[in-house]
Amino acid sequence: MLAMTTTTCTETHGEITVSTSRFGQLSVNPEKIITMTSPFLGFPDSKRFIVKPHGEESPFLWLQSLDDPKLAFVAIQAALLIPQYQPEIPGLTRQELQGSPEQPLEILLILTIPKENPEGMTANLLGPVAINSQKRLAKQVLQDPTRYDACWPVFTMDQTE
């Protein structure tokens, strides 16, 4: 599994080094690597990611692929953005993520941030990312399109609806 990355073991931590287009060479603790049980639709070759916080004052997270240096998603914890969001996680999916029925899963939302208009950023509520943090397994769990929007505006200036 490590064959696809450039591995450099440091003496103390056993960390591996991966190339990324946005962050250059990243030193990664193998115990932090999250594996997709099914890959993101559209990106079948990227199975491994790390979650890299943007910064202390920032709610944003990077989901950086370890298999494709150019691939990274901007994400945010669903609980921070929409506390009332309750995506459906089928029992079979929980099994796939090796989580028990009561075990809480971390839910991240992928953000689409238009280049010229960051305030027009949208969150994908149709395909949230469920993560079993203990087992470091994740999957994008598709929701009912009549309930949830793939392009949910993060900022609502006026409540027009």
Partner 1 sequence: MLILARKPGEAIAIGDGIKIRVLEIKGGQVKIGVEAPAEVMVHREEIYLRIVEENTRAAAEAPADLSSLASVFGGDKARSKPSPKSGK
Residue whose tokens read 């992928």: 110
Contact between 32 and partner 1 by CB under 8 A: the answer reads: no
Contact between 130 and partner 1 by CB under 8 A: the answer reads: no
Residue whose tokens read 């950023």: 121
Contact between 113 and partner 1 by CB under 8 A: the answer reads: yes
Contact between 22 and partner 1 by CB under 8 A: the answer reads: yes
> Of 4-12, 26-34, 69-77, 100-108, which part binds partner 1 (CB under 8 A)?
69-77
Closer residue to partner 1, CB minimum distance, 7 or 37: 37
Asked whether the beta carbons of 76 and 124 are under 8 A apart, the reply is: no
How does 73-100 read in b/e, with b if 16+ C-beta sit within 10 Å? bbbbebeebbeebebebeeebbebbebe
Contact between 42 and partner 1 by CB under 8 A: the answer reads: yes
Q: Which tokens sit at 105?
A: 């899963």
Rounded CA-CA distance 51/39 in Å is 16
Site residues, partner 1 (CB under 8 A)? 21-22, 37-38, 40-43, 54, 57-60, 71-74, 81-82, 84, 92-93, 95-96, 110-115, 118-119, 121, 124, 126-127, 140, 142, 145-157, 159, 161
